[in-house]
Amino acid sequence: MNIILLGPPGAGKGTQAQRLVEGHGMRQLSTGDMLRAAVKAGTPVGLQAKAVMERGELVSDGIVSALIGEELDAMGADTGAIFDGYPRTAAQAESLDAILAERGRKLEHVIELDVDEDALVERITGRFTCAGCGKGYHDKFEQPRLAGTCDKCGGTEFKRRPDDNEETVRTRLAEYRAKTAPILPIYEERGIVSRVNGMADIDDVTRAIERILRS
Ligand code: ADP
Ligand code: AMP
């Protein structure tokens, strides 16, 4: 199964993707994670992307689509893919069609996480992840069960993203509205879009997504 999780920054895409990975053995393909890894490693892609990401603007379509193709080639043909943060433009949506077709994959669901924009700044500025395993948390909405210790791997180091500040969030939201939200009709025409209330509790959102995957 191949699915897209669509929604503005902070909608809960990464949180839900991590749960689907654990529960269904699917693979999360987050272009944001791939780009952050490239920045950290200092690769040519990372050097090109760093400043763009710090501003909250979009990295070029060619770069992210190439990353997605490489990741798909590195995983088993039978492993399901969860696209998280990709596609973000009409050109990326078109590339994804070609990338999937070339690999004999079919897009089954586009799940839109519907959220109240006013909630997003709080979600994003409170977000942190385990430095060891990458599990996501929130200062208020999803704290580790034991303070300072990761539920998943027991790690005690956590990190915050440099672009998770209010000013950059505003730019990221504007980019979403201008370039990403307009791609929804492409998938609506195909009858594969489902909407989920992303303002519900994290567990309830997961349950709603699982119902869609079973349908
Ligand atoms: P995205 O990947 O869409 O940018 P995340 O999954 O990283 O968003 O979620 C952003 C922050 O909001 C995280 O800190 C996460 O713990 C928290 N969060 C995710 N889903 C919910 C929810 N349904 N209710 C409250 N907080 C949430
Ligand atoms: P994310 O982790 O999805 O919030 O993405 C963080 C940043 O990486 C974005 O603000 C963009 O600068 C860049 N990025 C991630 N995915 C894409 C994409 N599909 N297209 C363009 N830029 C992206």
Give the per-residue pLDDT at 16: 98
Q: How many angstroms separate the alpha carbon of residue 11 from the centre of ligand 1?
A: 6
Nearest atom (ligand 2) to Cα of 49 = 12
Average pLDDT over residues 177-199: 98
Q: How many angstroms separate the alpha carbon of residue 68 from the centre of ligand 2?
A: 12
H or E element in which residue 124 lies: helix 117-125
Give the per-residue pLDDT at 41: 98
For residue 69, what are its two tokens?
Answer: 């193709």
Give the per-residue pLDDT at 56: 97
- Report which of 191, 188, 211, 189 is spatially closest to residue 200, judged by C-alpha positions: 211
For residue 113, what are its two tokens?
Answer: 């996480």
Nearest atom (ligand 1) to Cα of 139 = 14
* Residue of the CA atom closest to atom 13 of ligand 1: 127
Q: How many angstroms separate the alpha carbon of residue 188 from the centre of ligand 2?
A: 23
Average pLDDT over residues 54-60: 97
CA distances from 10 to 13, 80, 124, 138, 198 (A): 7, 23, 5, 11, 10
Ligand 2 mutation target, pool 5, 13, 48, 53, most atoms within 8 A of CB: 53
| pLDDT tens digit sequence for 135-149 | 999 999 999 999 999
Give the per-residue pLDDT at 123: 96
Percent share of the chain, pLDDT over 90: 98
What residues does 127 pair with on adjacent strands? 138
CA distances from 98 to 47, 91, 104, 201 (A): 27, 11, 10, 35
For residue 60, what are its two tokens?
Answer: 């070029």
Give the per-residue pLDDT at 171: 96
| pLDDT tens digit sequence for 61-74 | 999 999 999 999 99
**CA angle in degrees (0–180, nearest 5) for 194-32-210:** 30
Average pLDDT over residues 89-114: 97
Mention every residue, 6+ apart, whose C-beta is less than 8 A from residue 126.
138, 139, 140, 141
* Residue of the CA atom closest to atom 23 of ligand 1: 202
Q: How many angstroms separate the alpha carbon of residue 93 from the centre of ligand 2?
A: 14
Which residues' Cβ are closer than 6 Å to ligand 2?
A: 9, 31-32, 35, 52-53, 56-59, 64, 85-86, 88, 92, 172
Q: β-strands 136-138, 27-30: how paired? A: unpaired
- Tell the residue number behind the tokens 């998280």, with chain if given: 84
Which residues' Cβ are closer than 6 Å to ligand 1?
A: 7, 9-15, 123-124, 126-127, 136-138, 141-142, 198, 200-202, 205
- pTM assigned to the model: 0.97
Residue 66 · residue 183 · CB < 8 Å: no
Give the per-residue pLDDT at 207: 97
* Rg of the chain (C-alpha set): 16
Average pLDDT over residues 86-107: 97
| pLDDT tens digit sequence for 37-50 | 999 999 999 999 99
Give the per-residue pLDDT at 154: 98
Give the per-residue pLDDT at 112: 98
HSE value, Cβ hemisphere, 13 Å, CA-based, for 85: 23
Give the per-residue pLDDT at 126: 96
- Mean pLDDT of all residues in the chain? 97
